[in-house]
Structure 1
Amino acid sequence: MGVGPGDPDLLTIAAVRSIEAADTVAYPVAREGGEGMAARIAAPFLGSGQRRLPLVFPMVEAASPRRLAWHAAADRLAAEVADGRAVVLLCEGDVSLFASSSYVLLALRDRHPALTVQLIPGISAVAAAAAAGAWPLALQQEGLLIRPTPDEPGDLAALLGQAADAGWVLALLKLGVRWPWVRQLLEERSLLEGALFARRVGWPDQQLAPAAAVPAAEAPYFSLLLVRQGWPAVLP
């Protein structure tokens, strides 16, 4: 279940109702004893009598620990259901967009195919950033490409060229350490002023600004960039 990017007010009615009806509330954490961001977002709607089930999803590159974590999460969720509990798994942002819950869903289908699962979508950071910045995300025949920021300048340059030719708006996630060279590349292409930089969307320390106003220092992991290289011919 998606709980949105950070502001509890952005939870859907369906999400709130599901949380309130749950016996067990599961949520991802990066390590044992850690605090889950999805749980923090949903905190106003959690009941004192609900069972809490933190599920460790390690933030590592290696495939084996991640697979083991997804399998373990699927088995623990299935065990809760087998014990007669109504279970929700909280997911920051949207439940299907670059979400850990998507891997758990695939693991559940493989390991517990008889289990009934319902997905409840949530507001993505991309949509929330565009709305908060009064930045039209896609207009008329424009395409929208959402993807992690490439690791190399050459790859981003090629992507920008492809997007310009196709009329795509780019939503680039996970800027982080890439921001200094991304900023320089956008400046060289005169795209900085019109691009929207967003950091920790929906949280109290949210930052929204034209990309030109953001210094070329390392950006946090939870930052994104919206880039439009042209406008449709018909506008007000």
Structure 2
Amino acid sequence: MAKLYGIGVGPGDTELITVKGVRAIEDSDVIVAPTGTEGGESIALNTVKEYIKPGTEVVIKHFPMGGKGKEIKVKEAYDFIEERLREGKNVSFLTIGDPFVYSTYIHLLKNMEEKNFKVETVPGITSFCSAASIVGQTIVVGDNRLTVMPATKVHEITDEKYVVIMKVYKREEEVLNALEEKGFKYVYVSRAGREGQLILEDKEEILKVRDYMSLILANRE
């Protein structure tokens, strides 16, 4: 029976994909890579290109972040994957970071499991773990808890000491103001481990960047 692999390819560094992920890619007849823009590149695909065997079918599918036509595009991608699986072909669906952290794959998995397809999920290194290693900053320590949240929830921080803010793009000022009001130190990381990587701690410099692939690590003692 054909299998769907959901593969977390890490933050975008070609050396930060797991051996298990590489083996799953090598075992696949079809590689499906997501992109957030119509006709745009796929960071996930660029990360693993060197591991794809010759003759493998490679397809980039547009997964809109929202707006008109999103459901149609998503259904087209799901139908394509289902068709290839029914043909008896192993399919790898690539996702940046980890498949279960703010990923399109979560919805795909549910859809495929409901149709009784065989699925294997391969974890990947998250962007915030990669960023912490690059910066040399502890994510969480001792008996403290770590809160990982989207930028839209930054005002809900209460007594947390260690926070990771995801999906910072276009909400940079709102996030930084909230963190400063709550007494946090922070570091902004964009394109962790990739070309164009930036590490910034100055608020004004951060507000000049506004990169989609960005996050903030914050803590207060």
Q: Can you list the C-alpha shifts for 1:140-189, whole angstroms capped at 9, x where unaligned?
A: 11111111102xxxx634x23x1x2xx44111112122212433343444
Rate the CA distance shift 1:189–1:145 in 2: closer, same or farther, 3 A: closer
Q: Alpha-carbon deviation of 1:218?
A: 5.0
Q: Alpha-carbon deviation of 1:77?
A: 1.1
Q: Alpha-carbon deviation of 1:46?
A: 1.6
Q: How many correspondences in the alignment? A: 215
RMSD across aligned positions (CA) = 2.0
> What is residue 156 of structure 1 aligned with on the other side?
154
Q: Can you list the C-alpha shifts for 1:82-116, whole angstroms capped at 9, x where unaligned?
A: 21212111111111110011111122233x2x210
> What is residue 3 of structure 1 aligned with on the other side?
9
Separation (CA, whole Å) in 2 of partners of 1:211 and 1:221:
18
Range with bigger deviation, 209-218 or 66-75: 209-218
Match of 2:107 among 103, 107, 128: 103
Rate the CA distance shift 1:34–1:186 in 2: closer, same or farther, 3 A: closer
Tell me if 1:229 matches 2:220: yes
Match of 1:132 among 123, 131, 134: 134
Higher strand share: 2
Match of 1:48 among 54, 63, 66: 54
Aligned to 1:9, the other structure's residue is in SS state coil
> What is residue 164 of structure 2 aligned with on the other side?
171
Separation (CA, whole Å) in 1 of partners of 2:161 and 2:181:
19
Match of 1:208 among 191, 199, 210: 199
Comparing both chains, which one has the higher relative contact order based on Cα–Cα distances under 8 Å and sequence gaps of 6 or more?
2
Structure label with greater radius of gyration: 1
> What is residue 23 of structure 2 aligned with on the other side?
17
Structure 1: which 5+ residue stretches go unaligned?
A: 231-236
Task: Report if aligned partners of 2:8, 2:122 keep a CA contact under 8 Å in 1.
Answer: yes
Task: Report if aligned partners of 1:196, 1:227 keep a CA contact under 8 Å in 2.
Answer: yes
Rate the CA distance shift 1:10–1:211 in 2: closer, same or farther, 3 A: farther
Task: Report if aligned partners of 2:164, 2:216 keep a CA contact under 8 Å in 1.
Answer: yes
Tell me if 1:182 matches 2:188: no
Separation (CA, whole Å) in 1 of partners of 2:209 and 2:182:
21
Aligned to 2:95, the other structure's residue is in SS state coil
**What code does the residue aligned with 2:189 have?**
A
Separation (CA, whole Å) in 1 of partners of 2:61 and 2:206:
36
Q: Alpha-carbon deviation of 1:204?
A: 1.3
TM-score (norm 2): 0.88
> What is residue 26 of structure 1 aligned with on the other side?
32
> What is residue 190 of structure 2 aligned with on the other side?
199
Provide the identity percentage. Answer: 24
Match of 1:219 among 210, 213, 218: 210
Separation (CA, whole Å) in 1 of partners of 2:87 and 2:177:
55
Aligned to 1:53, the other structure's residue is in SS state strand
TM-score (norm 1): 0.82
Q: Alpha-carbon deviation of 1:212?
A: 5.0
Aligned to 2:164, the other structure's residue is in SS state strand
Q: Alpha-carbon deviation of 1:11?
A: 0.1
Match of 1:36 among 26, 33, 42: 42
Task: Report if aligned partners of 1:70, 1:103 keep a CA contact under 8 Å in 2.
Answer: no
Higher helix share: 1
Q: Alpha-carbon deviation of 1:190?
A: 4.3
Rate the CA distance shift 1:213–1:33 in 2: closer, same or farther, 3 A: closer
